[in-house]
């Protein structure tokens, strides 16, 4: 079960928008899912795409969006970034961090003239934005561009990532070498010929050597290797870095390290709610302290990415940059979801 599904609460009443009803889907249709708690804007977006050959689904709340996502997989999501989730955070954070949706383009619904906040893809979280009020032809063209994208230009990265045939005792060192090369070659190396096959083979090899945690992360990277959304590329980079750090580390150096790491991540999850509250109340001193602590502890537990995020969070809180802090909290959520997947029910 994904984290998004775990957020589901009892349904609110009416989910349809008066004046527009989705027609019955046809086989093979691509699905556009519009999530917006502004009924006028939701209706306008729906009507703007009504004459297009797509299946349209809509949701006026986080609860209905989560419920619908349990029954179908969209090809494109149009999302108001500010729709609140049941836990008091924004629905966008949970959708953008959901691995099941990583390959699905997400466009932010923004207001015309909203300035830098009207271009949320600049923060690396959305694949684009839909500006409202809606212009029918422009909307149709933007949606078509994401549902029928041009073929990706072949990567310039050389096809030298396939594992050579070496002794099993050298596999961990070999994994580190390949992962170093892949990390250094990003973003092109994600789409290099043979990259996905190499990651899959590597996962099988290290899994056979009882490196199950590393094998699981390598399988995550394998699933992401051909997905080109902003979030998929970001996840791929984070997973490759994590795998490389694990391959570099001697697993026997610290007895019980896996349990220590799990406890550390549990504490970070617990602290996330307090950080959201600090942001909402403008308590930048608390956010600065949290960033400083994260900067000092992340790498010690093998999570260098959290150290980097902590350093950036400390600086953003020092400058009282609420938008930057919010984006960094999203990054923390995403990273913890990668290294600490939600348990199955």
Q: In this structure, is the dihedral angle defined by the CA atoms of residues 230, 232, 238 and 244, taken in order, positive or negative?
A: negative
CATH number for the domain including 307?
1.20.120.160
Least confident of 163-172, 272-281, 296-305: 163-172
- One domain, residues 8 and 126: yes
The arithmetic mean of pLDDT across residues 314-339, rounded, is: 93
The arithmetic mean of pLDDT across residues 56-75, rounded, is: 93
Q: Residue 120's domain spans which residues?
A: 3-147
- Of the two residues 18 and 225, the one the predictor is more confident about is 225
Cβ 18 vs Cβ 106: under 8 Å? no
pTM of this structure: 0.81
Structural domain contains residue 244: yes
CATH number for the domain including 40?
3.40.50.2300
- One domain, residues 10 and 129: yes
Whether residue 170 is predicted with pLDDT greater than 80 in this model: the reply is no
Residue 253: pLDDT band (50, 70, 90) is low
Sheet containing 55-59: which strands, arranged edge to edge? 55-59, 31-35, 76-79, 106-111, 128-132
Q: What is the pLDDT of residue 6?
A: 46
Whether residue 322 is predicted with pLDDT greater than 80 in this model: the reply is yes
Q: What is the pLDDT of residue 123?
A: 60
3-state secondary structure at position 16:
coil
Among 147, 176, 198, identify where a domain stops: 147
Whether residue 133 is predicted with pLDDT greater than 60 in this model: the reply is yes
CA–CA distance, 53 with 63 (Å, rounded to integer): 27
Number of independent structural domains in the chain: 3
Structural domain contains residue 330: yes
Structural domain contains residue 155: no
Of residues 95, 89, 98, 51, the one with CA closest to residue 77: 95
Q: What is the pLDDT of residue 212?
A: 80
- Nearest-5° Cα angle at 101, 97 to 106: 85
- One domain, residues 236 and 261: no
CA–CA distance, 4 with 85 (Å, rounded to integer): 10
Residue 154: pLDDT band (50, 70, 90) is low
Among 205, 224, 248, identify where a domain stops: 248
Average pLDDT score, the chain: 82
Cβ 96 vs Cβ 65: under 8 Å? no
Least confident of 5-14, 17-26, 238-247, 305-314: 5-14
- One domain, residues 28 and 65: yes
The arithmetic mean of pLDDT across residues 36-49, rounded, is: 94
Q: Which residues contact 239 (CB under 8 A, 6 or more apart)?
A: 217, 220, 221, 224, 338
- One domain, residues 73 and 45: yes
Count other Cβ atoms within 10 Å, centred on residue 310: 23
Structural domain contains residue 108: yes
Least confident of 39-53, 121-135, 255-269: 121-135
- One domain, residues 230 and 287: no
Cβ 76 vs Cβ 143: under 8 Å? yes
Structural domain contains residue 163: no
Q: What is the pLDDT of residue 274?
A: 93
Count other Cβ atoms within 10 Å, centred on residue 289: 14
Q: What is the pLDDT of residue 7?
A: 45
Whether residue 83 is predicted with pLDDT greater than 50 in this model: the reply is yes
Among 215, 248, 281, identify where a domain stops: 248
Q: What is the pLDDT of residue 309?
A: 97
Q: What is the pLDDT of residue 55?
A: 94
Q: What is the pLDDT of residue 97?
A: 87
Cβ 124 vs Cβ 230: under 8 Å? yes
- One domain, residues 57 and 134: yes
- Percent of the chain past pLDDT 70, that is, above it, reads 77
Whether residue 91 is predicted with pLDDT greater than 60 in this model: the reply is yes
CA–CA distance, 330 with 20 (Å, rounded to integer): 34
- One domain, residues 311 and 225: no
- One domain, residues 81 and 205: no
């Amino acid at each position: 079960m994904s984290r998004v599904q775990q957020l589901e609460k009892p349904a609110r009443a009416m989910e349809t928008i008066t004046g527009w009803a989705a027609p019955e889907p046809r086989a093979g249709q691509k699905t556009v899912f519009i999530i917006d708690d502004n009924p006028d804007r939701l209706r306008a977006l729906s009507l703007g795409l009504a004459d297009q050959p797509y299946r349209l689904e809509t949701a006026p709340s986080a609860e209905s969006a989560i419920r619908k996502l349990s029954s179908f997989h969209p090809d494109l999501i149009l999302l108001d970034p500010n729709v609140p989730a049941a836990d008091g955070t924004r629905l966008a954070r949970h959708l953008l961090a959901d691995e099941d949706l990583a390959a699905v383009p997400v466009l932010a619904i923004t207001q015309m003239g909203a300035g830098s906040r009207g271009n949320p893809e600049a923060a690396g979280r959305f694949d684009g934005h839909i500006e409202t009020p809606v212009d029918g032809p422009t909307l149709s063209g933007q949606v078509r561009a994401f549902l029928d994208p041009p073929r990706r230009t072949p990567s310039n990265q050389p096809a030298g990532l396939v594992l050579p045939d070496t002794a099993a005792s050298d596999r961990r060192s070999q994994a580190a070498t390949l992962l170093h090369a892949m990390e250094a070659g990003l973003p092109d190396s994600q789409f290099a010929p043979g990259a996905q096959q190499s990651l899959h083979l590597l996962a099988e090899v290290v899994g056979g050597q009882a490196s199950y945690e590393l094998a699981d992360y390598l399988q995550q990277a394998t699933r992401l290797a051909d997905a080109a959304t902003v979030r998929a590329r970001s996840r791929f980079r984070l997973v490759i870095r994590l795998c490389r750090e694990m391959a570099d580390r001697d697993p026997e150096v610290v007895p019980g390290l896996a349990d220590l790491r799990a406890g550390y991540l549990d504490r970070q999850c617990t602290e996330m709610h307090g950080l959201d509250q600090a942001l909402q109340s403008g308590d930048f001193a608390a956010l600065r302290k949290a960033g400083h602590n994260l900067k000092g502890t992340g790498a010690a537990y093998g999570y260098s990415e959290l150290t980097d995020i902590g350093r950036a969070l400390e600086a953003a809180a020092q400058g009282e940059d609420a938008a930057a802090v919010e984006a960094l909290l999203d990054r923390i959520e995403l990273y913890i979801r990668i290294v600490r997947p939600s348990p199955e029910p």
